[in-house]
Amino acid sequence: MIELEGVPELIDPVMVAAFEGWNDAGDAASTAVAHLDREWKGEVFAALDAEDYYDFQVNRPTVFLDNGVRKITWPTTRLSVVRVGGDKPRDLVLVRGIEPSMRWRSFCNELLAFAHELGVEMVVILGALLGDTPHTRPVPVSGVTSDPDLARTMDLEETRYEGPTGIVGILQEACTHAGVPAVSLWAAVPHYVSQPPNPKATLALLNRLEDLIGLRIPLGELPEDARAWQLGVDQLAAEDSEVAEYVQTLEEARDTAELPEASGEAIAREFERYLRRREPGTGPGVATEGGDFLRDSGSGRTRPPKPEQPGPESVPGADAAEGPAEDSDGGPGGASAEGPEGPVDGREGSEGPEEPPGGTSPDANGGAGK
């Protein structure tokens, strides 16, 4: 029996979860939840019993010193709650941990029991996969669900994936069978720069989550980290002619595939997002009096702020600033990802998540499925 003493009654709560491991390429998903927990000062109220779900020879505990006293941190999954203020406050239940080694059904049932007790209205699970996507282009972020009604109302893809899966796929199906609306957001990480961290993929996931749940997420230093990372990967690619040629091939394939997407509706959606982020406050895309550049979550480039009442020509996405409008509806064109390390050859596995964009594969370690 779950007792949640000390946890206040929550307002329109949404559970946001991410798990390190197979479905966390570049650590992009787990870092996104960690960012939310840090920016909104989450308070941990529960942790699952590590003995029930983890093989400690696979995920080893760590020892640390606290004022000279040795203590042990056990690998587990923790739940915290944050309240997002504003005119219409709401609460987020953040779930962050490691993909369990065993008893996945019991693991999911325990998380769903917490969701039930807290009155969670929707579960959003973040994942990241490896894909044939260039680091110079927007990160494809796809939103998938097993619920046909949810797919229609929230403009998501209905999953058709068949193949090996991870805890993200299992938890989503468990939510569906329990009658809890659930969505998985997947960011595609370039397989040739797959090592963590990946701030650009993390940024893309947070942008998509922001659109999905209707909350402005403080991004902190992530936009600048993404820009710096893009420059670093550009430099690494320039030093190897084979890598540079391969990236160019991916760019051409990506650009050709996305030509039909530059529609008026797509630009309008990006323009609406652009205007939302210019509202006063500390949210993304705010132009300050000091002349700071507007955030460009797609390509990592910067550009000067536009005059008042910008026209459609200033829409991020019309010039690849935040990527094609698929970033806001789960299609194959979200914000872009990259990593600083060198190329990784011989990816293992090619299965994708449920409806992956462009034949991508969802495994941080070269695996697949969800």
Tokens of 131: 């894909």
The upper half-sphere exposure of residue 182, i.e. CA atoms within 13 Å in the direction of its Cβ, equals 23
CA separation, residue 152 to residues 114, 149, 156, 305, 330 (Å): 27, 5, 7, 36, 12
pLDDT at residue number 268: 58
- For the chain, 370 residues long, the average pLDDT of each consecutive 10-residue run is 72 96 94 96 93 95 94 94 84 96 96 95 95 88 87 84 92 94 94 91 94 90 92 88 86 74 53 55 35 32 37 37 39 38 38 43 46
| 280: region left, alpha or beta (phi > 0 left; psi from -120 to 50 alpha) | beta
| 162: region left, alpha or beta (phi > 0 left; psi from -120 to 50 alpha) | beta
pLDDT at residue number 258: 66
pLDDT at residue number 29: 97
pLDDT at residue number 318: 36
pLDDT at residue number 359: 42
- How far is the C-alpha of 209 from the C-alpha of 213, rounded, in Å? 6
pLDDT at residue number 23: 93
The upper half-sphere exposure of residue 105, i.e. CA atoms within 13 Å in the direction of its Cβ, equals 1
**Please, which residues bridge with residue 80 across strands?**
44, 94
For the chain, what is the radius of gyration of the CA atoms? 20
Q: Is-contact 78 96, C-beta < 8 A?
A: yes
Dihedral (C-alpha) 172, 174, 180, 184: value to the nearest 10 degrees? 0
pLDDT per position as a tens digit, 52-100: 999 999 999 999 999 999 999 999 999 999 988 777 788 999 999 999 9
pLDDT per position as a tens digit, 98-146: 999 999 999 999 999 999 999 999 999 999 999 888 898 889 899 999 8
pLDDT at residue number 264: 52
- How far is the C-alpha of 304 from the C-alpha of 277, rounded, in Å? 15
